[in-house]
Amino acid sequence: MKLSAYLDGIGVLGPGLANWPECAAVFRGERSYVAAATVLPAPAMLPSAERRRTGRVVKLALAVAMEATSAAAADLSLLASVFSSSGSDGHICHEICQALAQPSREVSPTRFSNSVHNASAGYWNIGTGSMTESNVLCAFDASFVAGLLESMAQSAVDRCSVLLVSYDTEYPPPLHAKRPIPDAFGIAMVFSAEKSPQSIARLELSLTDAVADSLPHAELEALRRSIPAARGLPLLRLLSTRAPGRCVLDYFDVARAEVRVEPCH
Amino acid sequence: MAPLWVRSYTATSCIGQGLAPMLESLEQHRSGLKLCDFETVDINTFIGEVDGVDAQRLPDELQAFNCRNTRLAELALRQDGFDETVHGAVGRWGKSRIGVFVGTSTAGILQTELAYRRRDASSGELPDDFLYGPTHNSFSVADYVRRRFGLEGPAVAVSSACASSAKVFGSARRMIEAGVIDAALVGGTDSLCLTTLYGFHSLQLTSPLPCRPFDQARDGISIGEAGAFAWLERMPDSLDADSILLRGVGESSDAYHMSAPHPEGLGARRAMQSALHAAQLEPADIDYINVHGTGTPSNDRSESQAITSVFGPTTPCSSTKGATGHTLGAAGALEAVISALAIQHGLMPGGVHTATIDPTLTAHYIRENRRGTVATVLSNSFGFGGSNCSLIFGAAG
pLDDT tens-place string over residues B41-89: 999 999 999 999 999 999 999 999 999 999 999 999 999 999 999 999 9
| A153 inside 8 A of chain B by CB | yes
Residue B21 parent element (H or E): helix B19-27
Kindly identify which residue of chain A lies nearest to residue B168, measuring between CA atoms: A135
Shortest CA gap B20–chain A (Å): 32
Domain span at A154: 3-263
Q: What are the CA-CA distances from residue A99 to residues A65, A94, A165, A190 (Å)? A: 32, 9, 30, 39
The pLDDT value given to residue A259 = 98
Assign residue A75 the CATH number of its domain. Answer: 3.40.47.10
With beta carbons under 8 A apart, name residues in chain B contacting A89.
Answer: none
Asked whether the beta carbons of residue B142 and residue A139 sit closer than 8 angstroms, the reply is: yes
Q: Are strands B98-103 and B16-17 parallel, antiparallel or unpaired?
A: unpaired
Q: How far apart are CA A148 and CA B314, in angstroms?
A: 43
pLDDT band, residue A60 (cuts 50/70/90)? very high
Give Cβ neighbours of residue B119 (< 8 Å, ≥ 6 apart).
A101, A174, B125, B126, B127
Asked whether the beta carbons of residue B158 and residue A173 sit closer than 8 angstroms, the reply is: no
Share of chain A above pLDDT 70, in %: 100
The pLDDT value given to residue A50 = 84
What does the pLDDT look like over B243-261, one tens digit per residue? Answer: 999 999 999 999 999 889 9
Asked whether the beta carbons of residue A134 and residue B253 sit closer than 8 angstroms, the reply is: yes
Asked whether the beta carbons of residue A97 and residue B133 sit closer than 8 angstroms, the reply is: no
Give the torsion sign (CA, B238, B241, B244, B246).
Answer: positive
The pLDDT value given to residue A51 = 87
Q: Which residue among A53, A129, A207 places its CB closest to the CB of B255?
A: A129
What mean pLDDT do residues A227-240 have?
A: 98
What mean pLDDT do residues A52-74 have?
A: 96
Share of chain B above pLDDT 70, in %: 100
pLDDT of A142 higher than 90? yes
Per-chain mean pLDDT for chain B: 97
Shortest CA gap B271–chain A (Å): 9
The pLDDT value given to residue B206 = 98
Count CA within 13 A, CB hemisphere, residue B336. Answer: 40
**Cβ–Cβ under 8 Å, residues B166 and B192:** no
* Domains within chain B, CATH numbers bracketed: 4-395 (3.40.47.10)
What does the pLDDT look like over A161-190, one tens digit per residue? Answer: 999 999 999 999 999 999 999 999 999 999
Cβ atoms within 10 A of the Cβ of B90, count? 18
**Cβ–Cβ under 8 Å, residues B14 and B48:** yes
What mean pLDDT do residues B33-37 have?
A: 98
B121, with CB counted inside 10 A (0-12, 13-18, 19+), is: exposed
Q: Which residues of B are catalytic?
A: 162, 292, 326
Q: Where are the alpha helices (DSSP H) in chain A?
A: 20-27, 48-53, 56-72, 90-100, 109-114, 119-128, 143-158, 175-178, 218-226, 233-240
SS3 A48: helix
Per-chain mean pLDDT for chain A: 97
pLDDT of B306 higher than 90? yes
Domain count, chain A: 1
pLDDT of A23 higher than 90? yes
| B2 inside 8 A of chain A by CB | no
What mean pLDDT do residues A193-203 have?
A: 97
pLDDT band, residue A53 (cuts 50/70/90)? confident
Q: Which residue among B109, B126, B153 places its CB closest to the CB of A177?
A: B126
The pLDDT value given to residue B397 = 85
Give Cβ neighbours of residue A89 (< 8 Å, ≥ 6 apart).
A55, A56, A57, A58, A114, A115, A119, A169
| A198 inside 8 A of chain B by CB | no
The pLDDT value given to residue A41 = 95
Residue B84 parent element (H or E): helix B82-93
Q: Are strands B46-48 and B223-224 parallel, antiparallel or unpaired?
A: parallel
Give Cβ neighbours of residue B13 (< 8 Å, ≥ 6 apart).
B22, B32, B48, B50, B224, B225, B226, B227, B228, B324, B325, B327, B330, B334
Q: Which residue among B109, B160, B270 places its CB closest to the CB of A136?
A: B160
